[in-house]
Amino acid sequence: MADAVAAAKAALNGPWGKMTTAERVKLISAVATEIERRADDFLAAEVADTGKPRHVASHIDIPRGAANFRMFADVISTTPTESFATATPDGGQALNYVVRKPKGVIAVICPWNFPLLLMTWKVGPALACGNTVVVKPSEETPRTAALLGEVMNAVGMPEGVYNVVHGFGAGSAGEFLTSNPDIDAITFTGETGTGQAIMQKAAVGVRDISFELGGKNPAVVFADADLDKVVEGLSRSVFLNTGQVCLGTERVYVERPVFDEFVKRMTVAAKAFKPGATGDPAYLGPLISAEHQEKVLGYYARAVAEGATVVTGGGVPALSGDETGGFYVEPTLWTGLAHDSSVMREEIFGPCCGVIPFDSEDEVIGLANDTDYGLCATIWTENLSRAHRVAASMQVGVCWVNCWFLRDLRTAFGGSGHSGIGREGGVHSLEFYTETENICVKL
């Protein structure tokens, strides 16, 4: 592990550090092309590690892995820096302008739910800005990080620019990186508690951090919404990737006149999923691990103890054939939970949500914002004024109206409260992955 950090540090002063932006961009674009060329290998690796259905990995994980490099190659090529003509005391002028410099060696620590996607979301901009990286993927999902190393070699990336260390987080590879004084900044995606532990380590040496953490994201369904679109959208936001999505919906607030109809239709949608990890979107894959299955089933039991009515699901599906032995849980809907129950407050990271009725806009804004988290929200309404008004009142990093997970990689992405620190995406990533220097020239 020490060798990885040393190699990353040395590479800053080697050929990589001497490259022009245009030369770096060429290499980074080649990485995107090579990921696309080896898409089948990446797909097989991601499916083998996560157990996720092929349609999820082939439509989301792998294309985004390539797009993350292509987009940041573009951003670094096209983003100007600021300059000001400044009046001087003697009646003359000075030119103030900014140069961007790499921060140094960046530790990239990632989770298991979208391994390649989330890792490249950070490696792409870090390299575009001229840094070197040491990546620590989750021990659950190490393969695509290793495969990306093959891609780096294939495109001729200089030695030491991209490094991977394997091992667990706490007390092992992750903590080694966060404690290492040669790591200049840490970008992390994962649980809020882990973020807090990393932040303490980063304090030593006053090192910068960027955190994308957990969520307990609300969906707000107004009575005027198009229920067909709502159910289609929430079937994705609650169940995609078996609910193992930081942006997933776990709290649903529905205006009372359409509450019963919504629950009826959502139940039909939930029951339609079959357990399996094929290329067919009608199938819901397994959870990542036995440990996570135990956690999710623990919440299923707790929901009942907290007074929930289990509308559908609540256990483990009957399995046969290839699925036997997978860590499956049933897609689950609850009603009757109190807004302040632990199941409605804590991130479960499973295919489940509690549905609660509301009577007024003010009430639902209060309910949606009454959380420690602040990652995203979705609003479902056909009323344009209300859509803008309610969206702006959500205390979150991202609010979707009549859609979900519609990402434009140029936009700022991140969370407020316990959901994160900082924003990445487009030019916002440059803020984290570079140090700016202001130069003032008296003319």
Sites of contact with ligand NDP (CB under 6 A): 109-113, 118, 136, 138-139, 168-170, 174-175, 178, 189-191, 194, 197-198, 212-215, 246, 347, 349, 375, 415, 419-420
Asked whether 256 and 357 are in contact (CB, 8 A), the reply is yes
Least distance (Å) from ligand NDP to the CB of residue 218?
15
Asked whether 379 and 390 are in contact (CB, 8 A), the reply is yes
Q: Rounded to an integer, what distance in angstroms lies between the CA atom of residue 304 and that of residue 91? A: 76
Asked whether 113 and 417 are in contact (CB, 8 A), the reply is no
List, edge to edge, every strand of the sheet that includes 434-442: 83-87, 93-102, 434-442
The token pair at 336 is 């009757």
What is the CB neighbour count within 10 angstroms for residue 96? Answer: 13
Backbone angles phi, psi at 162, to 5 degrees: -120, 120
Least distance (Å) from ligand NDP to the CB of residue 194?
3
Quick one: the chain helix, strand, coil %, rounded to 5?
A: 45, 20, 35
Least distance (Å) from ligand NDP to the CB of residue 1?
12
Residue with nearest beta carbon to ligand NDP = 169
The token pair at 98 is 């900014």
Least distance (Å) from ligand NDP to the CB of residue 426?
15
Least distance (Å) from ligand NDP to the CB of residue 257?
33
Q: Which residues lie closer than 8 Å to 238 by C-beta, 6 or more apart?
A: 248, 249, 250, 252, 270, 331, 351, 352, 353
Least distance (Å) from ligand NDP to the CB of residue 365?
22
Q: Rounded to an integer, what distance in angstroms lies between the CA atom of residue 31 and that of residue 37? A: 10
Closer Cβ to ligand NDP, 138 or 378, answer by number: 138
Asked whether 106 and 187 are in contact (CB, 8 A), the reply is yes
Closer Cβ to ligand NDP, 246 or 368, answer by number: 246
Please indicate whether residue 363 is annotated as part of the active site. no
Closer Cβ to ligand NDP, 136 or 207, answer by number: 136
Closer Cβ to ligand NDP, 115 or 233, answer by number: 115
Burial code (b: 16+ CB inside 10 Å, e: under 16) for 207-233 equals bbbbbbbbbbbbbbbbbebebeebbeb
Closer Cβ to ligand NDP, 16 or 188, answer by number: 188
Asked whether 287 and 239 are in contact (CB, 8 A), the reply is no
Asked whether 369 and 240 are in contact (CB, 8 A), the reply is no
Q: Which residues lie closer than 8 Å to 257 by C-beta, 6 or more apart?
A: 223
The token pair at 208 is 């910068």
Active-site hit among 34, 46, 175, 212: 212
Least distance (Å) from ligand NDP to the CB of residue 151?
20
Closer Cβ to ligand NDP, 112 or 433, answer by number: 112
State how beta strands 309-312 and 332-335 pair.
Answer: antiparallel
**360 three-state secondary structure:** coil
The type of residue at 304 is: V
Least distance (Å) from ligand NDP to the CB of residue 170?
4
Closer Cβ to ligand NDP, 219 or 311, answer by number: 219
Asked whether 258 and 248 are in contact (CB, 8 A), the reply is no
Closer Cβ to ligand NDP, 130 or 248, answer by number: 248
Active site residues: 212
